[in-house]
Amino acid sequence: MPNRLIDETSPYLLQHAENPVDWYAWGEEALNRARDEDRPILLSIGYSACHWCHVMERESFENTDIAALMNEHFVNIKVDREERPDLDAVYMEAVQMMTGSGGWPMTVFLTPDGHPFYGGTYFPPEDRQGMPGFPRLLAAASQAYHTNKGEIDRVTRQLAEQMGRTGQMPRGFTPLTTEVMHNAYSQLATQFDHLNGGFGSAPKFPQPMTPEFLLRYYHHGFNIRALEMAELTLRKMALGGMYDQVGGGFHRYSTDAYWLVPHFEKMLYDNALLARLYLHAWQITADPLYRRITEETLDYALREMTDPAGGFYSAQDADSEGVEGKFFVWTPDELRALLGDDADLIMGYYGVTERGNFEGANILNVPRPAADYAEQRNVSDAELAGAIQRARAVLLDAREQRIHPLLDDKVLTAWNGLLLRAFAEAGAALGRADYLDAARRNAGFLLDNMRDADGRILRTWRNGQAKLLGYLEDYSCLADGLLALHEATLEPRWLQEAVAVADGMIALFWDDAVGGFYDTGRDHETLVIRPRDLFDNAQPCGSSVAADALLRLAVITGNGDYSSKGATPLRAMQQLLGRAPTATGHWLGALDFYVSLPKEIVIVGPAEHPETGAMLNAVGARYLPNRVVVGMPDPTHPPLTGSPLLEQRGLTDGAPTAYVCEHYVCQLPVTDAAGLAAQLDA
């Protein structure tokens, strides 16, 4: 008999719809029952691609005896953290304060008014390795709530006084300078793994925003070591097992320091951010490896993560057939049977052994550079490349016949905004019309399906149903992606929509009292605290994306309010940026834009004109992190009114014309791509 979760759209919640637990989704029905019956709440938060979430479900939530205890003593609420990042942020902070650590699945015990009094992460079904068994924990939490209300009240008051402090940053009044960037680089240099790339030791996360900052730092000419650090990291990740050598795209993170053994789930935001990172590395170095990884990652998203309606799905699980990584690994016998005469060469290239490198099977990786391996095997580079290409096609086709990991096919606005920007930038830089088409479809999908009748951006969509009020990250990432699409295509609609989304973002999330943005809108339900995440972790926080997008829109529109609301949070954050760069990578990019003199590029002319397209390609192919691009197909109908950047910008003798400006002071207009390229490179 299914429980209430059967009516939800989240694949994660639907996974639990057949549990014997009397689950509720978060909402008034559950909260009212807890208040009416004076029952504590058991809140369980996870996500579809979470391995230990699946383990706890099998061990505890599918266990009828444990479920009976939960149903007898608690109102049980299940939350998908990707749908409700606000609840995840609020209660993760509480768990970290109570236990010193956090993770998923997250298990939190609440009073009926939503205040946490105890919590943790995974709990086994019986006492194990110093962890209390879940049934014992349930009994203790229920007894404490009903027999020791005084202690419960003390704990909840104490937590309430402390929660939210990480989002309280004092206003900053010190001028923003490049000195912060120098401090950040020095910190990164001390944390860098000079042997394997990346920062710190195992487990090792890709942290794409940190290498992005290193590329910017190198681009300014500050230190060539910044590029060396970024390149070592990118090459090690691309050739290791964390990258899917058969199908493209990156797994979540490496369990070791060498990028070999991944946690096998694939997240949309990781691949969006990494595709852009490799694209930027290619723009700087012209290394074909980086272009290949960019294209394979985006092609993977098109092949496996795209809804026919135009949205991008959220994640693929690590497990298939109940076994982690089974879908992605190979045995030597499988490879010999599939690859025939190429088998020996390909197995050596991908480091395949009889013993294996993961539970008796092999995660494909590239332990030696292709040129070195070709020389060792006495084959030409072309012969090796041909064999690899043949093998990948055969292996991908064979893998498609396997039982696939669970696909989390909900569409999240924020994550789609990240990939929208990646497709737009790559389409412009690589001359890939299919990428631009994918970006257009996605932008149209988001604008048509992820807004309610009043224009309010919504968070999540699945099977034709959009719901839940969007968060700051949904607004900021959507505005960011739309702006990138305008810069890639020069089509007016995307710039106009970016401005509209930015205006809505300010109205809903900005707070003058704190000098920054909250993560939830003014129209959101009241929680224990109003969350405000200021750290760039696996993905950029909503505030850093908002600051970056507003600073770029300020240059285009001349809107001083955008500039103020982009710079004010940066001033508050600047000391933290220098001390904790791995947690503030996107903030550092926004700072770089603000303290630099960005190039302002206006291209006037019909997008379909060959010379307009050639000039757009000249811009897209270059690594110009601190620039804005505005297209004006018809100078008599500018895409925005009141923009100082667009004033008195027209065609030259009827020909498409480009203007390269700094602080609205322009060089001589040019009417060909070569002239524009010369100005950009000067």
pLDDT digits (tens, 9 = 90+) for 189-225: 999 999 999 998 999 999 999 999 999 999 999 999 9
- List b or e across 521-545, with b for residues whose CB sees 16 or more CB atoms inside 10 angstroms: beebeeebbbbbbbbbeebbbbbbb
Q: How far is residue 510's CA from residue 520's CA, in Å, rounded to a whole number?
A: 10
Both tokens of 31, joined, read 């909260």
The helix or strand, by DSSP H or E, that contains position 254, with its residue range, turns out to be: strand 253-254
Q: How far is residue 18's CA from residue 53's CA, in Å, rounded to a whole number?
A: 15
pLDDT of residue 332: 97
**pLDDT tens per residue across span 597-623:** 999 999 999 988 999 999 999 999 999
For domain 599-681, give the fold: Glutaredoxin (3.40.30)
Check whether 292 has a pLDDT greater than 90. Answer: yes
SS (H, E, C) 74-128: CEEEEEECCCCHHHHHHHHHHHHHHHCCCCCCEEEEECCCCCEEEEECCCCCCCE
pLDDT of residue 284: 98
- Taking Cα atoms as reference points, which of 229, 143, 221, 131 lies closest to residue 181? 221
Peptide bond into 105 cis (omega under 30): yes
User: Which architecture, in CATH terms, is 4-166?
Assistant: 3-Layer(aba) Sandwich (3.40)
Read off the pLDDT band of 162 (50, 70, 90): confident
Place of tokens 């691009």: 629
Average pLDDT estimate for 251-274:
97
Read off the pLDDT band of 1 (50, 70, 90): confident
Both tokens of 189, joined, read 């240099």
Check whether 143 has a pLDDT greater than 80. Answer: yes
Q: Which residues pair with 662 in a beta bridge?
A: 665
- Taking Cα atoms as reference points, which of 592, 581, 605, 624 lies closest to residue 484? 624
Q: Which residues pair with 358 in a beta bridge?
A: 361
Angle of CA points 114, 458, 555, to nearest 5°: 115
Q: In 10 A of CB 498, how many CB atoms? A: 26
Segments of the chain assigned to CATH 3.40.30.10: 4-166
Through-space distance between the first and last CA atoms of the chain, rounded to whole angstroms: 70
Secondary structure (DSSP) of 3-44 = -GGGG---HHHHHTTTSSS-EEESSHHHHHHHHHHT--EEEE
- Taking Cα atoms as reference points, which of 573, 576, 544, 578 lies closest to residue 180? 578
**pLDDT tens per residue across span 13-69:** 999 999 999 999 999 999 999 999 999 999 999 999 998 999 999 999 999 999 999
Mean pLDDT (the chain, rounded): 95
Both tokens of 62, joined, read 């599918």
Q: How far is residue 472's CA from residue 465's CA, in Å, rounded to a whole number?
A: 21
pLDDT of residue 148: 92
Lowest mean pLDDT among 308-317, 443-452, 603-612: 603-612
What residues have CB less than 8 Å from 84, skipping those under 6 apart?
Answer: 26, 45, 468
pLDDT of residue 361: 97
State which amino acid sits at residue 15.
Answer: Q
pTM of the entire predicted model:
0.96
Q: What is the DSSP letter of 655?
A: B
Strand order in the sheet with 75-80: 23-25, 75-80, 41-46, 106-110, 116-120
What residues have CB less than 8 Å from 615, skipping those under 6 apart?
Answer: 603, 605, 656, 658, 672, 673, 676
Strand order in the sheet with 458-462: 411-412, 458-462, 465-469
- Taking Cα atoms as reference points, which of 142, 123, 140 lies closest to residue 132? 123
- Taking Cα atoms as reference points, which of 483, 466, 445, 458 lies closest to residue 311? 445
Q: How far is residue 466's CA from residue 485's CA, in Å, rounded to a whole number?
A: 23
Check whether 170 has a pLDDT greater than 80. Answer: no
* Rg from Cα positions in the chain: 26
pLDDT of residue 226: 98
pLDDT of residue 472: 98
Secondary structure (DSSP) of 136-181 = HHHHHHHHHHHH-HHHHHHHHHHHHHHTTGGG------SPP-THHH
Check whether 625 has a pLDDT greater than 90. Answer: yes
Bridge-based pairing state of the strands 599-604 and 627-632? parallel
What residues have CB less than 8 Å from 497, skipping those under 6 apart?
Answer: 443, 447, 482
Secondary structure (DSSP) of 581-624 = GGG-HHHHHHHHHHHS--EEEEEES-TTSHHHHHHHHHHHTS--
Bridge-based pairing state of the strands 253-254 and 262-263? antiparallel
- Taking Cα atoms as reference points, which of 193, 317, 202, 197 lies closest to residue 253? 202
Both tokens of 47, joined, read 């996500």
Q: What is the DSSP letter of 421?
A: H
pLDDT of residue 160: 86
pLDDT of residue 167: 65
Helix count (H) and strand count (E) of the chain? 25, 21
* C-beta contacts of 350-354 below 8 A and 24+ residues apart: 350/245
Segments of the chain assigned to CATH 1.50.10.10: 179-320+408-595
What residues have CB less than 8 Å from 678, skipping those under 6 apart?
Answer: 670
Measure Cα distances from 234 to 230, 243, 463, 597 in Å.
6, 11, 36, 28
Bridge-based pairing state of the strands 516-517 and 465-469? unpaired
Return the half-sphere exposure (C-beta side, CA atoms, 13 A cut-off) of residue 256: 11
- Taking Cα atoms as reference points, which of 479, 531, 487 lies closest to residue 505? 479
Q: In 10 A of CB 320, how many CB atoms? A: 18
Peptide bond into 203 cis (omega under 30): yes
Average pLDDT estimate for 438-458:
97
Read off the pLDDT band of 672 (50, 70, 90): very high
pLDDT of residue 129: 82
The helix or strand, by DSSP H or E, that contains position 323, with its residue range, turns out to be: strand 323-324
Return the half-sphere exposure (C-beta side, CA atoms, 13 A cut-off) of residue 517: 35
Q: How far is residue 46's CA from residue 53's CA, in Å, rounded to a whole number?
A: 6
Measure Cα distances from 568 to 474, 480, 543 in Å.
21, 19, 11
pLDDT of residue 161: 86
- CATH classification for the domain delimited by 179-320+408-595, as one of 1.50.10.10, 1.20.120.1200, 1.10.10.10, 3.40.640.10: 1.50.10.10
**pLDDT tens per residue across span 462-505:** 999 999 999 999 999 999 999 999 999 999 999 999 999 999 99
pLDDT of residue 166: 66
Q: How far is residue 626's CA from residue 637's CA, in Å, rounded to a whole number?
A: 27
